[in-house]
């Protein structure tokens, strides 16, 4: 039966070739959109790690970033504060930050306040890596003050958050997420260990600097929100004293539920009075989340719309072509009817032929698509998401072709044997 | 079949040329008459096959809409349009990458860097230095106004051709003596003063007071260099710290060359200066990478990942074009499919026409007219469709002050592509069929394979 159908398909190879090509490209286009959608849904279902409700971000611009003060901004090694004697004077910005935090706590509407260098849904990122240069383990970093987990509702799974007990210690306390712990320590307990690859000798600069010691593990912290892939993250302790190595660039406020936007002006006026030269920008994290997610989803929505219309166009085109095929084959179909084929069998024949043609296109489509990870066209998308997207796209294309074939094949069943005989 | 016969009679009874030349001659003489007839038939045929006509029109207009929206978005970012009206001899230093043994940082440069290495470039008519736009708040009559504020110099207004609705720009003199003056855009004027004129009035932004000296039309947010809501002199900054910012800061520069022929020289001069940059702390950073770019070159620097952050405009263009072609393939294959089917379906009509003495050329003329007509209708639909979609995007407020223009050049390209494939897939099979013997054509022999 299949052999016979293949022969029938081959007999009309020119028109069938065009249909195959069309199905091939439809599959590629659909796969692109489905892959993005599945990727986003997969990310969305994983825990975010923090609570954005009632959190406000106050971005702080100090307007005084002269070269001297920001040379210490990004490198890791100069945070060897405990080695230095404490005769260094406290930088004025640290004093101002402490005043700002104290002022924030005076408001009844503010339940908690913390500093950070990377804000959730914010633009800035800060990454670092450990391990050898050829295969480093990368992670995002934020320096935060001790109250940060309360303000953003982080969940500790192991150990503790850093705090006063780490003052003057000969290590730098860090809190990492489970993912980073797994990448670095495997199944071993990371608590109390130095953060470096156990299987590698320490790098030169790691030797020089004060070691980072893991004091706690959180379940997750996805800085860029629910649509991005979960990534490694590490929190370092922000010191606001003479050992401050880097200035925070934002304050996170936890406000009482129901606090309105009018309160923003009060906060800014108060802050402005404390730090006359600084600029402040205040925004609820829920709003930042909305903006960030809109920009992340907009390309997918636009792509989805375009792909949707393309599929509609292909579906209509396919229906037209199949319809035409059937009208052309009146003779052949009529003859089969005259020889005793039932309407049901004709129906089946037309659909089976169509599925064979579609399968050809899809084989090439899948063959093309599996090259993507090999050619490294798409980033780090895991194989589960990838194969699920292939399955969904295949199902959609098959469904689409069958739907397009329904009406023409129904028409074919209406062919009367007499019509066919009348032809000759 | 009956209908086909009727059409055949309508057109062919008066024409029976035997040779190529006579055929051509008759076509020429009866051009007007024939064209009218062709159009009439084409319309009838299109109406008779409503479903096929609808699919073709949908495909053509939809493809055109996507093409138009994509090019309009592209133009909105890259094409030379006001206020960047001297784009053909402008370059920008929008960011530099600093590399050190352990860290790297990419972002706008410091004020001193631009003063030292850009302001002094040879063959340059003017250089302007400005900050990236900052979000600032104004507390105004009990409400909060959010705006983007850019600090810049007097040259800025001479490099960019802003359209002033009121007043004029601030000058280099204002910048030198740190006058608290501001130019605002139309939207900001409305937020502060409603419909009243703004020049001479005071506004508050980020806790500072400015006197408005000019009002300009809104600039779309994607015009990264000129864009802002409020422009004020750099010297009104809250502190003087920017004057000691060497490498990293929030400043960008626009360079206006004397002529576009000087651009390559300026680019290479700037790049040759980078190895000589003095680093205050070589343990932090010891290499600076960057360039004086057009917008597109800068985009290629940022978008195509590479260690040295090279500008690869050709590569970016190739990526964009291949994406475009990939998108166009599906509608094109669809169009070919539909056209081939349509023609096959009309095999018997062609046979009848042949039997009544229509030449291949007459038939080809008819199918050409049909295809051109179809493409033109699709083009008109696509034209209005893209206007509609662009307006929808502009009104959605997703892109502040978005201002879209149809790119007519690409519109014509799109139409020509549709026409080419229409002719190729609709007329070529028809022509081949018309060469068949009428009897064969009547039996539909041209169609089965």
Q: What is the pLDDT of residues B191-216, one digit of tens each?
A: 999 989 999 999 998 888 999 999 99
Contact: B139, A65; criterion CB under 8 Å:
no
Contact: B58, A76; criterion CB under 8 Å:
no
State mean pLDDT over A281-292: 87
pLDDT at A258: 86
pLDDT at A106: 92
State mean pLDDT over A118-128: 80
What angle, 0 to 180 degrees and rounded to 10, lies between the N-to-C axes of helices A262-274 and A92-106?
A: 140
Range 338-367 of A in CB contact (< 8 A) with B: none
Q: Which residue has the tokens 């290590």?
A: A171
pLDDT at A396: 95
Q: Give the model's confidence band at B308: pLDDT under 50 very low, under 70 low, under 90 confident, else very high.
A: confident
* Minimum distance, in Å, between the CA of residue A202 and any CA atom of chain B: 15
Choose the weakest-confidence range: A15-19, A357-361, B288-292: A15-19
Distance CA B330, CA B340 (A): 15
Contact residues, chain A, for B277 at CB < 8 Å? none
* Minimum distance, in Å, between the CA of residue B336 and any CA atom of chain A: 8
Choose the weakest-confidence range: A39-43, A84-88, A142-146, B1-5: B1-5
Mutate to test the interface with A, among B337, B339, B345, B398 (most CBs of A within 10 A): B337
Tokens coding A3: 């052999």
* Minimum distance, in Å, between the CA of residue B25 and any CA atom of chain A: 36
pLDDT at B14: 42
Contact: B345, A327; criterion CB under 8 Å:
yes
Contact: B341, A320; criterion CB under 8 Å:
yes
pLDDT at A203: 58
* Chain A, chain B: beta-carbon pairs less than 8 Å apart: 130
CA distances from B40 to B10, B15, B37, B343 (A): 10, 17, 5, 18
Q: Which residues contact B270 (CB under 8 A, 6 or more apart)?
A: B93, B117, B118, B121, B291, B292
Contact: A320, B338; criterion CB under 8 Å:
yes
Range 145-204 of B in CB contact (< 8 A) with A: none
pLDDT at A389: 93
Contact: B331, A310; criterion CB under 8 Å:
yes
Share of chain A above pLDDT 90, in %: 35
Does the pLDDT at position B448 exceed 50? no
Angle at B320 between CA B316 and CA B322, to 5 degrees: 115
Q: Give the model's confidence band at B251: pLDDT under 50 very low, under 70 low, under 90 confident, else very high.
A: very high
Q: Which residues contact A165 (CB under 8 A, 6 or more apart)?
A: none
* Minimum distance, in Å, between the CA of residue A156 and any CA atom of chain B: 30
Contact: B330, A320; criterion CB under 8 Å:
no
Tokens coding B270: 């700037």
Distance CA B279, CA B292 (A): 20
Contact: A324, B247; criterion CB under 8 Å:
no
pLDDT at B442: 65
Choose the weakest-confidence range: A159-168, B395-404, B411-420: B395-404
State mean pLDDT over A193-215: 72
Distance, C-alpha A184 to centroid of its chain:
22
Q: Assess B80–A contact: CB distance below 8 Å, yes or no.
A: no
Strand partners, B148: B135
Note the pTM of the prediction, 2 decimals.
0.78
Tokens coding A367: 């063959």
pLDDT at B21: 54
Distance CA B363, CA A134 (A): 68
* Minimum distance, in Å, between the CA of residue A259 and any CA atom of chain B: 16
Looking at chain B, which residue has its C-alpha nearest residue A126? B105
Q: Give the model's confidence band at A423: pLDDT under 50 very low, under 70 low, under 90 confident, else very high.
A: low
CA distances from B138 to A15, A67, B186, B207, B208 (A): 66, 30, 16, 7, 9
- Residues B12/B362, Cβ–Cβ less than 8 Å: yes
- Residues A334/A421, Cβ–Cβ less than 8 Å: yes
Contact: B249, A65; criterion CB under 8 Å:
yes
pLDDT at B443: 62
H helices of A214-284, where?
Answer: 262-274
Q: Give the model's confidence band at A87: pLDDT under 50 very low, under 70 low, under 90 confident, else very high.
A: low
Contact: A281, B136; criterion CB under 8 Å:
yes
Share of chain B above pLDDT 70, in %: 89
Mutate to test the interface with A, among B241, B325, B398 (most CBs of A within 10 A): B241
Looking at chain B, which residue has its C-alpha nearest residue A13? B449
- Residues A217/A158, Cβ–Cβ less than 8 Å: yes
pLDDT at B369: 82
Contact residues, chain A, for B144 at CB < 8 Å? 261, 264-265
State mean pLDDT over A378-389: 82
Contact: B333, A63; criterion CB under 8 Å:
no
DSSP string computed for B91-129: EEE--EEEE-SS-EEEEPBPHHHHHHHTTT-SSEEEEEE
Choose the weakest-confidence range: A28-32, A347-351, B203-207, B280-284: B280-284
Q: Which residues contact B287 (CB under 8 A, 6 or more apart)?
A: B98, B99, B100
Contact: A65, B337; criterion CB under 8 Å:
no
pLDDT at B435: 74
Of all helices (H) and strands (E), which one includes residue B290?
strand B287-290
The closest alpha carbon to A142, from A176, A96, A103, belongs to A176
Q: Which residues contact A307 (CB under 8 A, 6 or more apart)?
A: A29, A30, A32, A33
Looking at chain A, which residue has its C-alpha nearest residue B389? A302
The closest alpha carbon to B91, from B256, B261, B224, belongs to B256
Q: Which of residues B245 and B62 earns the better pLDDT score?
A: B62
* Minimum distance, in Å, between the CA of residue B334 and any CA atom of chain A: 6
pLDDT at B17: 43
pLDDT at A79: 42
Choose the weakest-confidence range: A116-120, A126-130, A276-280, A296-300: A126-130
pLDDT at B39: 82
Distance CA B288, CA B280 (A): 13
The closest alpha carbon to A19, from B327, B331, B333, B329, belongs to B333
Tokens coding B196: 């009243």
Contact: B144, A12; criterion CB under 8 Å:
no
Contact: A67, B110; criterion CB under 8 Å:
yes
Encode pLDDT of B168-177 as tens digits. 999 999 999 9
Distance CA B348, CA A318 (A): 22
How many other CB atoms are there within 10 angstroms of residue B135's CB atom? 15
**DSSP count for chain B of H helices, then E strands:** 15, 13
Range 391-410 of B in CB contact (< 8 A) with A: 398
Contact: A67, B341; criterion CB under 8 Å:
no
What angle, 0 to 180 degrees and rounded to 10, lies between the N-to-C axes of helices A343-369 and A13-44?
A: 60
């Amino acid at each position: 039966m299949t052999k016979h159908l293949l022969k029938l398909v081959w007999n009309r190879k020119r028109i069938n070739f065009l249909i195959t090509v069309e199905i091939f490209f439809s599959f590629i286009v659909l796969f692109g959109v489905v892959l993005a959608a599945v990727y986003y849904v997969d990310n969305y279902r994983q825990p975010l790690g923090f609570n954005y409700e009632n959190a406000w971000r106050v971005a702080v611009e100090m307007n005084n970033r002269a070269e001297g003060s920001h040379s210490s901004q990004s490198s890791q090694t100069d945070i060897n504060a405990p080695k230095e004697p404490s005769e260094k004077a406290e930088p004025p910005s640290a004093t101002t930050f402490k005043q700002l935090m104290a002022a924030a706590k005076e408001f009844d509407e503010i339940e908690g306040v913390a500093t950070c260098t990377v804000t959730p849904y914010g633009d800035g990122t800060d990454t670092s890596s450990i391990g050898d240069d050829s295969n480093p383990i990368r992670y995002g970093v934020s320096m935060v003050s001790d109250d940060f987990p309360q303000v953003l509702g982080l969940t500790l799974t192991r150990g503790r958050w850093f705090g006063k007990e780490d003052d003057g210690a000969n290590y730098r306390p860090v809190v990492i997420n489970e993912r980073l712990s797994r990448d670095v320590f495997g199944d071993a307990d990371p608590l109390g260990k130095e953060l470096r690859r156990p299987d590698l000798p320490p790098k030169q600069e790691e030797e020089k600097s004060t070691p980072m010691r893991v004091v706690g593990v959180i379940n997750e912290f996805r800085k860029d929100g629910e649509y991005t892939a979960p990534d490694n993250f590490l929190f370092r302790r922000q010191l606001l004293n003479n050992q401050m190595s880097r200035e925070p660039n934002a304050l996170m406020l936890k406000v009482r539920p129901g606090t309105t936007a009018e309160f923003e002006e009060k906060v800014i006026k108060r802050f402005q009075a404390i730090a006359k030269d600084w600029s402040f920008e205040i925004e609820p994290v829920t709003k930042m989340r909305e903006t960030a997610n809109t920009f992340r989803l907009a390309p997918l929505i636009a792509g989805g719309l375009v792909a949707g219309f393309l599929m509609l166009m292909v579906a209509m085109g396919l229906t037209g072509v199949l319809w035409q095929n059937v009208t052309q084959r009146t003779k052949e179909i009529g003859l089969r009817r005259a020889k005793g084929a039932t309407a049901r069998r004709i129906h089946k024949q037309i659909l089976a032929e169509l599925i064979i043609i579609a399968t050809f296109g899809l084989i090439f489509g899948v063959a093309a698509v599996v090259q993507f990870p090999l050619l490294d066209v798409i980033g780090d998308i895991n194989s589960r998401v990838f194969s699920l997207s292939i399955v969904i796209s295949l199902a959609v294309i098959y469904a689409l072709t069958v739907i397009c074939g329904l009406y023409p094949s129904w028409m074919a069943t209406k062919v009367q044997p007499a019509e066919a005989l009348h032809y000759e | 079949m009956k209908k086909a016969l009727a059409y055949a009679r309508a057109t062919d009874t008066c024409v029976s040329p035997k040779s190529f030349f006579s055929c051509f001659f008759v076509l020429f003489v009866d051009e007007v008459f024939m064209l009218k007839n062709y159009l009439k038939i084409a319309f009838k045929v299109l109406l008779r096959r409503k479903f096929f006509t609808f699919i073709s029109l949908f495909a053509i207009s939809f493809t055109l809409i996507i093409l138009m929206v994509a090019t309009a978005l592209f133009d909105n970012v890259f094409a030379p349009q006001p206020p960047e009206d001297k784009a053909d001899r402008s370059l920008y230093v929008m960011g530099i990458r600093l590399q050190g043994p352990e860290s790297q940082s990419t972002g706008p440069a410091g004020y001193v860097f631009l003063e030292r290495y850009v302001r002094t470039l040879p063959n340059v008519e003017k250089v302007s230095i400005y900050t990236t736009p900052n979000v600032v708040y104004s507390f105004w009559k009990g409400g909060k106004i959010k705006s983007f504020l850019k600090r810049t110099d007097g040259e800025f207004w001479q490099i960019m051709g802003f359209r002033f609705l009121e007043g004029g720009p601030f000058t280099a003199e204002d910048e030198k003596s740190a006058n608290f003056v501001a130019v605002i855009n139309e939207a900001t004027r409305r937020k502060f003063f409603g419909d009243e004129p703004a020049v001479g009035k005071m506004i508050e932004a980020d806790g500072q007071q400015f006197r408005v000296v000019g009002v300009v039309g809104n600039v779309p947010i994607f015009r990264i260099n000129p864009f802002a809501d409020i422009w004020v002199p750099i010297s009104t900054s809250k502190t003087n710290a920017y004057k000691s910012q060497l490498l990293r800061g929030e400043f960008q520069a626009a360079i206006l060359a004397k002529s576009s022929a000087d651009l390559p020289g300026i680019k290479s001069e700037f790049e040759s200066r980078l190895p000589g940059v003095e680093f205050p702390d070589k343990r932090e950073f010891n290499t600076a990478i960057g360039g004086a770019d057009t917008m597109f070159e800068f985009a290629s620097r940022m978008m195509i990942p590479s260690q040295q952050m090279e500008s690869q405009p050709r590569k970016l263009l190739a990526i964009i074009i291949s994406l475009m072609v990939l998108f166009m393939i599906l509608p094109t294959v669809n169009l070919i499919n539909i056209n081939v089917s349509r023609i096959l379906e009309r095999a018997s009509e062609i046979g009848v026409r042949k039997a009544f003495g229509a030449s291949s050329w007459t038939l080809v003329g008819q199918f050409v007219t049909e295809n051109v007509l179809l493409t033109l209708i699709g083009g008109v639909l696509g034209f209005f469709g893209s206007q509609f979609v662009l307006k929808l995007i502009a009104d959605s407020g997703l892109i502040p002050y978005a201002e879209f223009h149809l790119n007519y050049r690409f519109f014509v390209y799109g139409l020509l592509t549709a026409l080419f494939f229409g002719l190729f897939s609709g007329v070529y099979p028809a022509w081949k069929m018309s060469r068949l013997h009428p009897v064969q054509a009547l039996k539909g022999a041209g169609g089965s394979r």
